[in-house]
Structure 1
Amino acid sequence: MNLPLRLILAGLFLIPLARTDAAEAAQTKPNVVIMIADDVSWNDFGCYGNPAARTPHIDALASRGLRFANAFLTASSCSPSRASIITGRYPHNLGRAAELHEPIAANLAWFPSVLRQTGYYTALVGKNHMTPEPPAAGQSRATKPWDLVDPGTTPDNHGAEARWTQTIKNRPKDKPFFCWFASLDAHRNWDADNEWVPENYGPKHQSEDVVVPPFLADEPATRQDLASYYNEVTRFDYFVGEVTQTLADEGELDNTLILVLADNGRPFPRAKTRLHDSGMKTALVAHWPNGIAEKGVSTSSLVSVIDIAPTVVDVAGAKMPPTFQGVSMTPIFQDADATIRRFAFSEHNWHDYEAHGRSVRDGEFLYIRNARPELAWQGPADSVRSPSHQTLRRMRDGEKLSEAQADVFLQPRPVEELYKTEDDPNQLNNLVSNSQYKQTKERLSKVLDQWTQETGDAVPDELTPDYFDRETGDSLKLGKGQKRKRGTPPGGPNDAIHIDHPGPR
């Protein structure tokens, strides 16, 4: 029988105490490396069943580690998702950061700050997109989260991965380290096509080989769009491999917890910003030879990305901030069948367009509630401008869309949606009016009500309006003297930045 993780870690921490070298004592703490892709759906890695995607390095980590089959984001939107991960809180509990490009409330703890105070060297290399609000008058400034911040791009690599391995090699050798390696792959526009290095990445993906989901058009422009997207995923994977090899070369691989995931779904119609699995489900691969008991297995345990912050603080042996709403995943590292939560909640707030949607999952069903049903969920502006979306638009005008494709433009939308996800992986069969699932709908609706109340969520009277045209993705023009308007953030009416209750878990 495997020892509990806390006992293993306790042993790791106690061994050096008989020595006089403080640096050796520090190095026994586990290192942590998070590699986060930008705009990549959960099923676009090979180890998650995509037969066309080339991700051999991520697949290798999964084969030696733990693959999470039910990991979910709190927001399928770049900065709210990252802010949620770094603070271990739901988007509406972050203040203005619930919406794209907005700062995180100043009173909230970031887990890299906790690690840094505990003696870790902390580095962010790549996409940041996380900023704190300045402290209010009389409020102390938050503890600095990073020893190093580096955008990571070079003239021949705009994926922001070029200096990841350098960061590990150049780190202080007398401290444990935490690295947040954040790729710009696979965010539009596609630069990997022009920066392709065949000896590193292999041949480019071909349009005839991609997997076209049923809500996109299976035609040349969309297939090429997907092939270019796959190229970005493969470039990200290459640097995941480079980091893994560098950790091995430095003798740190066994003592390093590696987490690989993405911030939101692919930047295509019916993915990014959506509450459905194509937007909100994430790949999550964990690799840690010293800390994961069962290697090369898949776990069906339900987890949320707000569980990452408490997990990292837990394995570092640091004190858990009271502001975290997530729960540590370490029991799953010791038993892949362990249960740490019954429910995972997600939000759809402003991302280029006015929106307010909420969802809850219980591992079998997905329940969605929409406070703005009169508005379409067409996806963010960069997706709307894409060849894939504009092809669907032309097909719509020619009345050639399938039911799955038409959902991209649907308005009004249902106020409620219910899906049995295993039977309906693309969530195309809404069961909300099916009498057979009446009790399930009522149960999950009550759970969502409880979460809304206990965490201080709200639907403000005035939400942030559209900034872009919903048909073209072009920026909406302002009149002379006008400024872009921001509405009330969703937790604003209830001062949710000061509510730490996690709701039902």
Structure 2
Amino acid sequence: MNLPIRMIIAGLLLTPLTLVDTAAAAESVDSKPNVVIMIADDVSWNDFGCYGNPAARTPHIDALASQGLRFTEAFLTASSCSPSRASIITGRYPHNLGRAAELHEPIAANLAWFPTVLRQSGYYTALVGKNHMTPEPPAVGQSKPAKPWDLVDPGVTPDNHGAEARWTATIKNRPKDKPFFCWFASLDAHRNWDADNEWVEQKYGPKHQPEDVIVPPFLADEPATRQDLASYYNEVTRFDYFVGEVTQTLASEGELDNTLILVLADNGRPFPRAKTRLHDSGMKTALVAHWPKGIAGEGVTTSSLVSVIDIAPTVIEVAGAEIPETIQGVSMTPIFGDPQSTIRRFAFSEHNWHDFEAHGRSVRDGQFLYIRNSRPELAWQGPADSVRSPSHQTLRRLRDGEKLSDAQADVFLEPRPVEELYKTEDDPNQLNNLAFAPEYKQVKSRLSKVLDQWTDETGDAVPEELTPDYFDRETGDSLKLGKGQKRKRGTPPGGPKDAIHIHRPGPR
């Protein structure tokens, strides 16, 4: 098992490598900081130990949090793999990315990626693991965008389909004369559960047991669901193990103090009422920052509101480079110096096509979550892989037997409310919709106006023709096409207003 950070550093002091490592650390004192982002796939914010889950084992992420900065109000812009990653890499809202607002689609060619900015500033840049971010080919007469990566490695090995096995080798084999940026993207915890078959107890400890998992109120507390969650927890723990390996490697290379580490996830767990949802179970993310040279204090928690589009300007500022005008986020560095600092009042999120037709928007102010749904006639049952899961099919069986609780029934609800409002501190699972409560009329009106302003200033829209369903909403099976038919793509949400050329961030 990997050791917590304090023990890693203490152990290094007792080895013959001490003189080499100390010299390397001293040499890097005046150099630009390195940056390592480790991003989990499909993990909800509260499925790390340091965020309150006593069952999912994440000792290495917990150790980073105990030595660094833990964000409690960090939010994604999309609870959908490629739109979320594209949003992070460009520092822009999904509808401002062109077709990339929807799953599996490319990012508009005119937009800057922050790894490109780092590479042009002298950084060695590497992507190892899940990519899922592609640029659109440049238009006729438009120059080809600069290369963002020196190294791209899918990272999958025969004994590790989580794509983490070559993370540490990437750090060790990097050019030693440059600062480095590594985007380490795990495939854990994306379905299907390969960690169960690749489990190494000497590394990861014992497998999680179904009787120990935490079953959220919108899932059924039945054996199939508990086993589903246990397998999911195994993938979370495997991701954590490799976070520890990277940390240990940075320490042994003498680079830990001079490296900004960020740990987060791209969207919520692949279970009903999580992934693709605008509620916290889908859109809130864990975000742990560790950087001894750049973050004041240890084991600090901040409730300052941040969006993942704030990562790009943060990293660029830390690297001493110029922030492109296309970036809509705002740097988090004031929070690194003072966890009480405020960099934004609002965080916005989107629900666009991910296997199924959808158009939803939300705004948070740190106290309330306001949601607006432009397709209320359609259920928000979750993506196709979640629909095919034992957890969803168990709920479906209970539904047919009229045995669902209100929280569980929300998975199948249609029509849905056009508006939802939640006081998140009092209602962490967002089960009590206050949108039509008289005492919250002013709150709803205020946040509705903020969302209107953001929609207008950033060029969002509800196209007449959205991309339709590709899968069956009951079974998750792919919808069959007639002979000669092709899958249709509708107009992306930013298309009607040419939002790829709008760089205004809206209210923040």
TM range (shorter): over 0.9
SS of 2:82's equivalent in the other structure is helix
Specify the code of the residue in structure 2 equivalent to 1:248. Answer: A
Question: Which ranges in structure 1 are unaligned for 5 or more consecutive residues?
Answer: 1-23
Matches of 2:36 and 2:300, distance apart in 1: 20
Show the counterpart of 1:5. none
Show the counterpart of 2:4. none
Matches of 2:500 and 2:42, distance apart in 1: 27
> CA-to-partner distance for each residue in 1:294-317, whole Å, 9 max, x for gaps?
210110000000000000000000
Work out the number of aligned pairs and report it: 483
Is residue 2:272 matched to residue 1:269?
A: yes
Matches of 1:429 and 1:157, distance apart in 2: 42
What is the CA-CA distance between 1:145 and the residue it aligns to? Answer: 0.2
State the Cα RMSD in Å. Answer: 1.0
Show the counterpart of 1:19. none
What is the CA-CA distance between 1:495 and the residue it aligns to? Answer: 0.1
Select 1:342's aligned residue among 342, 345, 367. 345
> CA-to-partner distance for each residue in 1:405-443, whole Å, 9 max, x for gaps?
000000000000000000000000000010110000000
> CA-to-partner distance for each residue in 1:206-264, whole Å, 9 max, x for gaps?
00000000000001000000000000000000000000000000000000000000000
SS of 1:124's equivalent in the other structure is strand
Q: Is the 8 A contact 1:27 1:174 kept in 2?
A: no
Map 1:292-371 onto structure 2 (within 5 A): 292-371=295-374
Matches of 2:419 and 2:145, distance apart in 1: 40
Specify the code of the residue in structure 2 equivalent to 1:158. Answer: H
Map 1:52-71 onto structure 2 (within 5 A): 52-71=55-74
SS of 2:371's equivalent in the other structure is strand
Show the counterpart of 1:180. 183
Specify the code of the residue in structure 2 equivalent to 1:191. Answer: D
Show the counterpart of 2:8. none
The alignment's TM-score, normalised by the length of structure 2, stands at: 0.94
Show the counterpart of 2:20. none
Matches of 2:115 and 2:354, distance apart in 1: 26
Show the counterpart of 2:459. 456
Show the counterpart of 1:15. none
Select 2:485's aligned residue among 482, 485, 492. 482
Matches of 1:348 and 1:26, distance apart in 2: 43
Select 1:289's aligned residue among 292, 301, 316. 292
Q: Is the 8 A contact 1:343 1:504 kept in 2?
A: yes
Show the counterpart of 1:84. 87
Matches of 1:150 and 1:287, distance apart in 2: 25
Matches of 2:313 and 2:327, distance apart in 1: 7
Q: Is the 8 A contact 1:26 1:175 kept in 2?
A: no
Matches of 1:320 and 1:177, distance apart in 2: 18
Map 1:43-54 onto structure 2 (within 5 A): 43-54=46-57
Q: Is the 8 A contact 1:26 1:119 kept in 2?
A: no
Is residue 2:194 matched to residue 1:195?
A: no
Matches of 1:368 and 1:25, distance apart in 2: 46
Matches of 1:215 and 1:77, distance apart in 2: 20
The alignment's TM-score, normalised by the length of structure 1, stands at: 0.95
SS of 1:429's equivalent in the other structure is coil
Matches of 1:259 and 1:459, distance apart in 2: 34
Show the counterpart of 1:33. 36
Matches of 1:145 and 1:47, distance apart in 2: 33
Show the counterpart of 2:236. 233
Show the counterpart of 2:221. 218
Specify the code of the residue in structure 2 equivalent to 1:485. Answer: K
What is the CA-CA distance between 1:27 and the residue it aligns to? Answer: 7.0
Report the identity percentage: 89
Matches of 2:144 and 2:316, distance apart in 1: 21
Matches of 1:295 and 1:120, distance apart in 2: 27
Is residue 2:406 matched to residue 1:406?
A: no
> CA-to-partner distance for each residue in 1:38-66, whole Å, 9 max, x for gaps?
00000000000001010000000000000
Matches of 2:81 and 2:385, distance apart in 1: 13
Is residue 2:75 matched to residue 1:72?
A: yes
Specify the code of the residue in structure 2 equivalent to 1:134. Answer: P
Matches of 1:268 and 1:325, distance apart in 2: 30
Matches of 1:134 and 1:319, distance apart in 2: 25
Select 1:103's aligned residue among 94, 103, 106. 106
Matches of 1:25 and 1:228, distance apart in 2: 41
Structure 1 residue runs of 4 or more that deviate by more than 4 Å after TM superposition? 24-27
Is residue 2:257 matched to residue 1:251?
A: no
Q: Is the 8 A contact 1:43 1:50 kept in 2?
A: yes
SS of 1:366's equivalent in the other structure is strand
Show the counterpart of 1:21. none
Matches of 1:67 and 1:478, distance apart in 2: 47
SS of 2:394's equivalent in the other structure is helix
Show the counterpart of 2:443. 440
